[in-house]
Chain A
Amino acid sequence: MLSIKNLSASIYGKPIIKGLSLEVNAGEVHAIMGPNGSGKSTLASVIAGRETFDVDEGEISYMGKNLFDLPAEVRAREGIFMGFQYPVEIPGVSIANFMRTAINEKRKYLGLDPLTGAEFLKLMEEKKKMVDIQSKLTNRSVNEGFSGGEKKKNEIFQMAMLEPRLAILDETDSGLDIDALKVVANGVNKLRRKDNATVVITHYQRLLDYIVPDFVHVLYDGRIIKSGDKSLALELEEKGYDWVKKETA
């Protein structure tokens, strides 16, 4: 589904991703771990098509298409979803309105009729239940005045609404209490299907108790320096990043 080969990316001339390769297939869950500033969010942004980052080298193909040919909004409509580490506030725009616009843009792209008001409301109710989000939240402006946890839950709600093929969740578990963490993980698991894939970026192996990954990668200084299965996350938790660093040096 997603194939990254030898990717290098920079911001304002400063290299961040330095020759990174990664393969993600349908049905898989990948976890990316790594110290602060190692480039995890940058990788997610580059995949999502954020233009502030420059791609210097390498290629990314997604569903057989060259990702660099597609602008950010088209990548989204093609099923790439990014759960933001720091979701932004959009004052005055309700989540309902925001999601309706997003879904109908996607449907237009796919040649489908827009959802009617009633259809949309029904879908929203269904997904709200699924990810256990409070009813009132969708009437509020996008992320405005949300608590940290509410923001993260809102990302999962949006993911449920958009039913992506490839979801990249950037520290969606950070700042969640244990109940909320279960809610988020539950949401992700319920949305998991044979034909979609999830990449979770996290600092905590705890999340991986709930969302069990097929692969765990360690991102360090812009490169994936070690990959393994779930046990790698446990090992990391125990021994820290220095251990991998030494081992691969």
Chain B
Amino acid sequence: MENESNKILEEVTGSEYKYGFYTDIEMDQAPPGLTEDTIRFISAKKKEPDFMLEFRLKAFRHWQTLKEPEWAHVKYPRIKYQDLIYYSAPRKQPKYDSLDEVDPELLETFEKLGIPLDEQKALAGVAVDAVMDSVSVGSTFKKTLEEHGVIFCSFSEALQKHPELIKKHMGSVVPYRDNFFAALNSAVFSDGSFAYIPKGVRCPLELSTYFRINAANTGQFERTLIVAEEGSYVSYMEGCTAPVRDENQLHAAIVEIIAHKDAEVKYSTVQNWWPGDKEGKGGVYNFVTKRGICEGENAKISWTQVETGSAVTWKYPSLVLKGDNSAGEFYSVAVTNNMQQADTGTKMIHLGKNTRSTIISKGISAGRSNNSYRGLVKTTRNAENARNFSQCDSLLLGDQCGAHTFPYLDVGNRSSIVEHEATTSKISEDQLFYCMQRGIDMEGAIGLIVNGYAKEVLSKLPMEFAVEAQKLLSISLEGSVG
């Protein structure tokens, strides 16, 4: 009898397992939990080469030995890793038939951001009519890139078509041993993007402009790998100004950038994850490891980021300046409102001679939020004449929010020059009244002043991104004063 029921149970669960995985493609997802089997399943599902599975398993075994880090300035409920779902196929079926069915609040935000109607539909998960024809846009784009020998595709595709490049570079900048979230990502990453710029090529297009709609759906464990060969140039944009709501609370991405001799990589990102409601409920936790390495002489990498979303953000885009005369830049605007918490910053590791780095960080806090900047500048013994300049500004709106700056310096070379400047300011009543006297209402005035404050960073963004980012800043702070 007991045997019988066990058998039935097995059948039921087993078949569910079976159907869950192999038949119903739309519902294609792994059962909750994380074991070696989950990882084998993900890898098999994606038909990955063996080395990839091995990499994932090693990362997983390492992750199991780690404890989740705790930080003084970020608080959030414990994440139950065994309750999460680690693989879920991209949804192909539109959620809605028309925009009328979409949350009006979301549409209003799209409107304010000036996102074209067709993109609004795609972002909200509405069936898109043939008019947009994103396929043809995509293919002209691809063709131009191909002509220049630039590879730009999803991580999965790259694993199929260019496994040798992935094998060579993946994990070389952010090893899976790097930290808790990097290990987790390395074990279970879903997909991401791969860009490869061959020697001497100046990439003719801003990468990822045309793909942002798709990028909005790439899931919770993304991986980006950018390789710029000697003398090449690329400007890469990731993210999306439209608010991204996601049922997945935890996001742990990895971005790796490699710039060889004389190469330059500009990486820009605008992140607007759902921050949750006014109490911070339901918001996304964003734990990201981003790092670039200037491998060769005269290489240059710059990070430009505008962060307005997430309930909790933890990220420190970092740069290792290994090649002599290489340069690194970090430009950041981080906005926190309501109950948001952001702990961001950068690390600049100077290894080579005459290496230079610039850090411009602009924090904006409103509501009851907390915004921390944490930066490390390290110059090693061989880094003769290394130079760093850091400027960390905080702007406070109201008196219930917090801004914290933690600059760490680790100077291992006497000839290096490290400068740090920090300011904290408030929007004054004088400034607001001046704007209002000219006919600009309170929110418009705050938007204007905040954008002025962040201009140094916004001006580093590619043009079209910059315009959207400006609107985004204003919108993020709506209702924060008055």
Contact = CB atoms under 8 A, between A and B. Distances in A.
Interface in A83-114: 84, 87-93, 97-99, 101-102, 105-106, 109
B453 interface: yes
Nearest to A52: B429
Contacts of A76: 436-439
A88 B454 contact: no
B451 interface: yes
Given A50-B433, A88-B428, A90-B431, A162 B452 contact: no
A88 B438 CA distance: 13
Interface in B428-476: 428-431, 433-442, 444, 448-449, 451-456
B434 A73 contact: no
B438 A162 contact: yes
A77 interface: yes
A72 B448 contact: no
Contact of B451 (A92, A106, A158): A92
Interface size class on chain A is 20 to 34
- For A76, A92, A93, A106, which residue has the most chain B Cβ atoms within 10 angstroms? A92
A102 B452 contact: no
B437 A48 contact: yes
Given A52-B429, A72-B433, A102 B453 contact: no
A82 interface: yes
B252 to A, nearest CB: 34
- For A73, A87, A106, which residue has the most chain B Cβ atoms within 10 angstroms? A73
Contact of A92 (B437, B440, B453): B453
B421 to A, nearest CB: 15
Interface in A34-71: 48-50, 52, 71
A141 interface: yes
Given A50-B433, A84-B434, A91 B452 contact: yes
A112 to B, nearest CB: 13
A99 B452 CA distance: 14
Nearest to B445: A73
A77 to B, nearest CB: 4
A58 B319 CA distance: 64
A96 to B, nearest CB: 12
A72 B432 CA distance: 11
B461 to A, nearest CB: 14
B456 A92 contact: yes
Nearest to B428: A88
A49 B434 CA distance: 11
Nearest to B362: A92
Nearest to A79: B439
A92 B438 contact: no
B122 to A, nearest CB: 28
Contacts of B428: 88
Contacts of A71: 436, 441
Contact of A73 (B431, B436, B451, B452): B436
A49 B436 contact: yes
A158 B448 contact: no
B437 A93 contact: no
B423 to A, nearest CB: 11
Contacts of A93: 448-449, 451-452, 455
A114 to B, nearest CB: 13
Contacts of B433: 48, 50, 72
Interface in A108-163: 109, 141, 158, 162
A92 B454 contact: yes
Given A92-B453, A93-B451, A98-B448, A105 B436 contact: no
A162 B441 CA distance: 16
B425 to A, nearest CB: 9
- For A82, A84, A97, A102, which residue has the most chain B Cβ atoms within 10 angstroms? A102
A68 to B, nearest CB: 15
Contacts of B444: 101, 105
Contacts of A49: 436-437
B440 A88 contact: no
Given A52-B429, A88-B431, A101-B444, A82 B437 contact: yes
Contacts of A48: 433, 437
Nearest to B448: A93
B439 A141 contact: no
Nearest to A75: B437
B438 A158 contact: yes
A109 B440 CA distance: 11
Contacts of A73: 436-437, 439-442
A81 B438 CA distance: 7
A245 B439 CA distance: 38
A130 B448 CA distance: 27
Nearest to A78: B439
A126 B441 CA distance: 27
A90 B434 contact: yes
Contacts of B435: 90, 98, 102
B436 A162 contact: no
A106 B453 contact: no
Given A92-B456, A93-B451, A106 B430 contact: no
A73 B429 CA distance: 14
A73 to B, nearest CB: 5
A158 B429 CA distance: 20
A89 B441 CA distance: 18
A101 B448 contact: yes
Nearest to B439: A76
Interface string B127-171: 000000000000000000000000000000000000000000000
A73 B430 CA distance: 14
A72 B451 contact: no
A162 B439 contact: yes
Interface of B: 428-431, 433-442, 444, 448-449, 451-456
Given A92-B454, A93-B449, 8 more contacts: A50-B433, A73-B440, A76-B437, A87-B434, A91-B452, A101-B444, A102-B438, A162-B438
Give 9 nearest A-B pairs by CB, closest first: A92-B452, A93-B452, A92-B455, A76-B439, A102-B438, A72-B436, A77-B439, A73-B436, A105-B439
27 contacts: A48-B437, A49-B437, A52-B429, A72-B436, A72-B437, A73-B436, A73-B441, A73-B442, A76-B439, A87-B434, A88-B431, A88-B434, A89-B431, A90-B449, A92-B452, A92-B453, A92-B454, A93-B451, A93-B452, A93-B455, A97-B448, A101-B440, A105-B439, A105-B440, A106-B439, A109-B439, A158-B438
